[in-house]
Structure 1
Amino acid sequence: MTNYQVDLTNCDREPIHIPGKVQAHGFLVAVDNSFAINYVSENISKFLATDANSLLGKKIADLERLLLSQEDAGFITQLLLLGKHTKSFETINPYRLSISNESFNLILSQAGTNYLLEFEPDSTATEFDIQKTIGRSVSEMLTGKSLKHLLDNAAEQIKNLIGYDRVMIYKFLDDGHGEVIAEVKEEHLEPFIGLHYPATDIPKQARELYKVNLTRIITDVNAEASAILTLATEGETLALNLTHSALRAVSPIHIQYLKNMGVASSFSISLLYQDELWGLIACHNYTPRFINFKAREASKLIGQIISSALEYKQDEENSSKNNQYKAAYDELTGILRKGGNVADAITKHTTSILDVTDASGAVLAFEDQLIMLGVTPSTEQMTPLVDWLKTNMEDRIYHTHKLPDVYQPAKAFSTVASGALACTLSKELGEMIVWLKPEQISTVNWAGNPNKPVEINEDGLMSLSPRRSFDVWEETVKHTSQRWSKAEISNVLKLRDEVVFAINRQANEIRILNEKLKQAYEELDTFSFTISHDLRTPLSTIKNYSELLLESNSSLDEDAKRILNKVIGGADKLNFLIKEVLNYSRVGRAELQNTDLEMASIINDLKNDLVVAFNTHNLVFEVGNTPSVYGDRTMVTQVFANLLNNAIKYSSRSAPPHVKVEGKETQTEVIYSITDNGVGIDINYYNRIFDLFKRMDNVRNYEGTGVGLAIVKRIIEKHNARIWMESELGVGTVFYIAFRKNL
């Protein structure tokens, strides 16, 4: 047989399902599909008048002959054939028989291509009426209304059933370590209730076996296990899989662990929740103790009933919180499906993203801003955390209840955010929602120091050893929050899908609106150009005929001449307006020819032209710094021409008129200001000054069409620039234009 050495590197991979040994209180025989004996435990000689080697390779009939004191010939063969036919041995086990005038149970099971025959005593430390005992035990257990009462009652009833010195309910936590949450014991024993045990005490592969074997007995830790012998095949011996074996020997590490605790015998019953190992009913006795198959099956049945009740109670206790989360999710879903701004929908109503979990704070990172709800770190602290999550989130969701352990800066704000649950909305844009839970400082009482499983042996090498001391070892846990529940994570995932759907829908709506707006602009440009162009011919005709009448007809009286002059003046004004509309439409149709513009020459040329054109007395025209601008020369010149024209025109009646233009640079923009001391703009017109044909009441006496600023606005938008103003009636106006730098 192959020996397996356990060391520090492979404890979690120790093949405990193939230990190569069985416990000493029974013996094992394994046969293949032809019912030939290919495995026998070495201790068979203690129970039958034979030895293991003499049976290897023989047929099952040879074993039957050794057991024929009270049995018919071929009885084991018939049991095996029946089990093979029904594909189960549950209705057969246990088969009672007599060996050396003592009652034994034969327990049959399948192990790959082999069939296990395990013989163990039928006598037990506990005799009882199984039906009455189980009925009474279950009735007592289910009287408790809460999960705690159920578990306390379960521990009490199991102790009454099997009579062990200590019965504990041991619950596994998320990281694999366990806690004793219920206990019944003999009075002289120290309590273990509330103690925590590290995950290494019951490693992963052992927990997996507990899901397959719902009961497990270790009769006597001091009894030497018996080796399983087999014949070599092609020079190799294959280990026998004892996953379903009742007699399977115990890991030497676990045996030493029990010895260190002073435990002589142990028995466990698995508790499952949604097909996963929730915990164990762990029973300890301080002297060797055996309970037979019937008692173990009764205990297993009680464990299954407890598991069902546990699932019901656990779901019942979870349902209240889950219903709250679901109600919040349903409310937010309803708001999102109505349309509108997505960020407002999930942050600005009575129900918000904060309500879909048990978090104390939530942060929405969306459209280059952070929206905070509840108790959160500062913006300065959240911004780098969000950046870290963008880089480190490999999936659409991430959660931890120990944020400072994985993100060191979180120690500075662990009191408000030791737990984080994040979901991405857009990986490309780095948009996400983050929920936060505060620190919960707690004290964990360990059964011995869980951090010292390593000892130095005589050779100076490290070796793995179970703890020798189980004295209470106290640990203060900081930088840890309440764990995120499955319901919270599930709710967040569902909400994420709804938010992403709403964002995509809104993006599509905006895209459609942009297409319609673009089409409307193009149609308006075409219409404006066509109408303006077509109006010029009849307008020229009106003007020309009016001038001809005025010049060629000397008999006209003064009133007729005055009327004709007004017609000619009106035609000139209308012609100017048509030119302005054409200019406006050309802005929309023209393609930009962007270059770096030397603004000093452009502004000085405009200054010279405008000063001559207006001939304003005592005009003070200042030109400050003139950094270059990246844009289309014709259009940028048109912007400054319009704004400077207005500045001079509307300050012409001030004493003296004062106009100033200057620029300054930031890291990303060039910002120009054009200041005047003119009539100013009424605050009621601030939102309309860039509209087409809009003019203020206080400038009715100044010539203008209401098109100039509309042209300016359109040119600015075409350059992806910004324009805004500040003004006060009777004091003056400042227009600001911010052009993006060509980086």
Structure 2
Amino acid sequence: MTQTALDSAPSGNGGSLDLTTCDREPIHIPGNIQPYGALLVLEPGTLRILQAANGTDAILRSAGSVVGATLADVLPPSVFAAVEQVEAATLAPGVTHLGTVRFAHDGGWRSYHAIAHRSAERIILEFEETVADEPGSFEDLYPHVREFLDSLQAVSSVQQLADMAAREVRRITGLDRALVYRFDEDWNGTVIAEDRNEALPSYLDLRFPASDIPAQARELYRLNRLRLIADANYVPVAIEPALDPSSRAPVNLSLSVLRSVSPVHLQYMRNMGTHASMSISLLRDGRLWGLISCHNAAPHRVPYHVRTACDFIGQILSLQLAAKEHASIAEQRHARRTISARLLGHMAAEDHFLDGLIKHGEDLLALTNAAGAAVVFGGTSALIGDTPEPAAVDRIISWLAEQRHDDDVFTTDNLAAAMPGAEALKDHASGLLAIAISQVHDSYVIWFRPEVIRTVSWGGDPRKRAEVEPDGLKLHPRTSFEVWKETVSLRSAPWHETEVEAATELRTAIVDIVLRRAEEMAGLSERLVAINKELEAFSYSVSHDLRAPFRHIVGYSQLLKNNEGPTLTERGHRYVDTIIESAISAGTLVDNLLSYSQMGRASMLPVSVDMNALTAEVIRKLDMEIGARTIEWKLGELAPARGDLTMIRLVLQNLISNAIKFTRDRNAAVIEIGCEPGQGENSYFVRDNGVGFDGAYVSKLFGVFQRLHRVEEFEGTGIGLANVRRIVERHGGRVWAEGQVDVGATISFVLPSGTE
């Protein structure tokens, strides 16, 4: 630790030790003060003293003797006159310097800074003893501060700012060492700037663990920007009584300038070889960014106004750091949004918008400074740049799908710590940034970064040490701050916040495109459903109404031929036969069309269908079509299907009937019916060695009224296979065909599997 270190005191009694005790220690209510002053806890309105601590005999004879008295009763008239505005002054937030007051002491005088602030429902009044020959006011130090402000004009980087601040603070305070200490995202700290003499060693570029400054200590640094410990060997002075008489709670000293610190922290300082320290908090947007941490080998009390000047420098530095970082982030955001705009343009120019990302991989990688990327959509993955093998990417996708992150964005620079088995992917995917682009399917855009092995220099072994003492285990601050090096592996370069933002914004844009297209498709689907219903109703009405006229044509034509046959010429008989044949064909077409339209409207009753028995039944019923022909049947074992029995019967009837029809010119006709069972579904096929078809026209095979053979060669209406497709698709399956002219055809279809 480079700063004021562990500002907490764990209680280590018992047979075991909780190493997180420091994280929970209530260091804002220590119950003690440092001895170079006095503290009074006052009741607002009456200014009655409720609690007191006296570190010097020049102010109070004893703390206990003043409790219950009013401030006017205890202080000399001249001092009370200087601080009687204490209540009005402390209405504002923060700490107020009321001025310098003097107390008589041993025939002479001692000067103190009177400082006040609000703490809950109480007023805390502190008297801090002045230092000999200290500046009389902040104005005395302003030339130094003004010189620092003037120098800022020439500074262009965070590093230059930190170097200048460390140099200026040490010059003003006269301390042996001044460091600028920056926190990372895990609250580990790194010394990024240093100014020192030879009294203390250099800590420049060393890292210190987050445990050196626990969370509650960081919160105190955020609330109270400046902290001084003048002597690591001081004897703390107790506040009397320990609890507030009204609230029965210890007084909150978060903003106190005299607040005592943990004995563990004081031991930590002594282990570092420092006997005085001062810290100045550096904030960015209200969050602790880092510290200016100062140390001295010997005890040293930095005067109040000097600390005020240092606090002012710290505030200026905080503003400059924030401005520099905001400017840098703004520049990066602008660059990434420019890339994002190009990607959106690429996506808009493609029929399938994700092709815009895939075809412009260099922009996709530049968006997040990644080495590789994968675009996963619709069950397929497109890999760009340096990525793991496709099988490994599939494992990452499955793992991401299991995580189900609420924000649909996942980022890590240590995938091996998050995903089992990811160590093997370190050369390509130690770092991962992924965005989910679908709420329904496992679709992602994923960026990869390789492992970057680096050595981190710590200021001593960062691990906490527990030692056995007579009263049990106790946590001790480490005693060595020699450089302790650690090799960090299985980590990539960390993802910058602007890179994560750019990925998130791209996800928003993609999801907007998907949703917009989904809305368009939903609207189109609604229109298509309505149109389809109208067409079905129309086809049903037409086919139903046409059946009777065609039957009449056939009937009256046959009556004409039978009753008036002797009077008809041979040509007249041919005309009547043609009328009868055409009417019968048209009637068959109408019947098939009616069946097709009904198939889309009919309700389904799914049951387990014995496909072996159903196939045998269909073949028996088609025996009339076979006649005297000889057909070699090859019937495999057919797994049961689940579906509507009537509809599946129609599928087999159409396919087997077609096989019989298209093999009638074969001397040795062969028809094979088989099955390939699957997981949750079965694939069936009907294969023949008939006339086949040209594979170039396979897309027309399942269309309504589509025929690949002339009606003079093979009768038919061109509706049978269209009906097959409609039935199979209504069952959630699919159908396809393979064929070769004069070799044969195979029609395959998939249905859900059933049980016997």
TM, length-normalised to structure 1: 0.89
Matches within 5 A, 1:321-400: 321-330=332-341, 356-363=367-374, 366-368=377-379, 372-393=383-404, 395-396=406-407, 397-400=409-412
Contact 1:64/1:76, CA 8 A, preserved across alignment: no
Contact 2:97/2:114, CA 8 A, preserved across alignment: no
How far did 1:209 drift? 0.9
Contact 1:125/1:289, CA 8 A, preserved across alignment: no
Deviations 1:271-299 (A, max 9, x none): 11111000001111112222211111111
Cα distance between partner residues in 1 of 2:93 and 2:723: 89
Deviations 1:214-263 (A, max 9, x none): 11111121232333334877699753322211122222111111100101
Aligned length: 733
Matched, 1:730 2:752: no
Cα distance between partner residues in 2 of 1:311 and 1:232: 41
Matched, 1:154 2:162: no
Q: Tell me, what secondary structure is at the counterpart of 2:702?
A: coil
Contact 2:221/2:281, CA 8 A, preserved across alignment: yes
> 2:276 aligns to what?
265
Matches within 5 A, 1:20-35: 20-33=31-44, 34-35=46-47
Matched, 1:79 2:91: no
Q: Tell me, what secondary structure is at the counterpart of 1:416?
A: helix
How far did 1:654 drift? 3.7
Amino acid at match of 1:80: V
Which has the bigger relative contact order, CA under 8 A and spacing at least 6?
2
> 1:675 aligns to what?
687
How far did 1:334 drift? 6.7
Matches within 5 A, 1:87-166: 87=92, 92-97=97-102, 100-112=108-120, 113-123=122-132, 129-166=140-177
Q: Superposition RMSD on alpha carbons, in Å?
A: 3.3
Q: Tell me, what secondary structure is at the counterpart of 1:192?
A: coil
Residues 463 and 699 of structure 1: is their aligned pair in 2 closer, same or farther, counting only changes over 3 Å?
farther
Matches within 5 A, 1:455-466: 455-459=467-471, 461-466=472-477
Q: Tell me, what secondary structure is at the counterpart of 1:54?
A: coil
Q: Tell me, what secondary structure is at the counterpart of 2:84?
A: helix
How far did 1:123 drift? 3.3
Residues 323 and 274 of structure 1: is their aligned pair in 2 closer, same or farther, counting only changes over 3 Å?
same
Matched, 1:218 2:229: yes
Contact 1:64/1:74, CA 8 A, preserved across alignment: yes
Cα distance between partner residues in 1 of 2:536 and 2:281: 79
Cα distance between partner residues in 1 of 2:179 and 2:303: 20
Structure 1: unaligned runs, 5 residues or longer: none
> 1:665 aligns to what?
677
Moved more, 114-123 or 171-180: 114-123
Cα distance between partner residues in 1 of 2:658 and 2:634: 15
Cα distance between partner residues in 2 of 1:279 and 1:314: 14
Q: Which of 161, 167, 180 matches 2:178?
A: 167
Deviations 1:520-563 (A, max 9, x none): 33322221222122223333343344444444164444333333
Matched, 1:535 2:543: no
> 2:478 aligns to what?
467
Contact 2:361/2:384, CA 8 A, preserved across alignment: no
Q: Tell me, what secondary structure is at the counterpart of 1:709?
A: helix
Residues 572 and 306 of structure 1: is their aligned pair in 2 closer, same or farther, counting only changes over 3 Å?
same
Contact 1:60/1:77, CA 8 A, preserved across alignment: no
Matched, 1:252 2:258: no
Moved more, 261-270 or 181-190: 181-190
Cα distance between partner residues in 1 of 2:446 and 2:278: 45
> 1:292 aligns to what?
303
Cα distance between partner residues in 1 of 2:93 and 2:227: 20
> 2:570 aligns to what?
558
Contact 2:557/2:580, CA 8 A, preserved across alignment: yes
Amino acid at match of 1:467: R
Deviations 1:63-99 (A, max 9, x none): 432xx6xx4x741343325415x63686754435465
Residues 4 and 203 of structure 1: is their aligned pair in 2 closer, same or farther, counting only changes over 3 Å?
closer
Contact 1:141/1:157, CA 8 A, preserved across alignment: no
Percent identity over the alignment is 32
Amino acid at match of 2:100: Y
Matched, 1:602 2:610: no
Cα distance between partner residues in 2 of 1:49 and 1:634: 105
Amino acid at match of 1:181: I
> 1:632 aligns to what?
644
Contact 1:336/1:502, CA 8 A, preserved across alignment: no
Contact 1:43/1:52, CA 8 A, preserved across alignment: no
Cα distance between partner residues in 2 of 1:314 and 1:159: 25
Amino acid at match of 2:697: Y
Cα distance between partner residues in 1 of 2:666 and 2:249: 109
Matches within 5 A, 1:416-435: 416-423=428-435, 434-435=446-447
Residues 190 and 655 of structure 1: is their aligned pair in 2 closer, same or farther, counting only changes over 3 Å?
farther
Deviations 1:48-75 (A, max 9, x none): 473433333333234432xx6xx4x741
Amino acid at match of 1:150: L
Q: Which of 428, 450, 472 matches 2:462?
A: 450
> 2:217 aligns to what?
206
How far did 1:649 drift? 2.4
Residues 93 and 435 of structure 1: is their aligned pair in 2 closer, same or farther, counting only changes over 3 Å?
farther
Cα distance between partner residues in 1 of 2:649 and 2:498: 62
Amino acid at match of 2:428: V
Moved more, 200-209 or 5-14: 5-14
Moved more, 87-96 or 593-602: 87-96
Q: Which of 571, 579, 587 matches 1:567?
A: 579
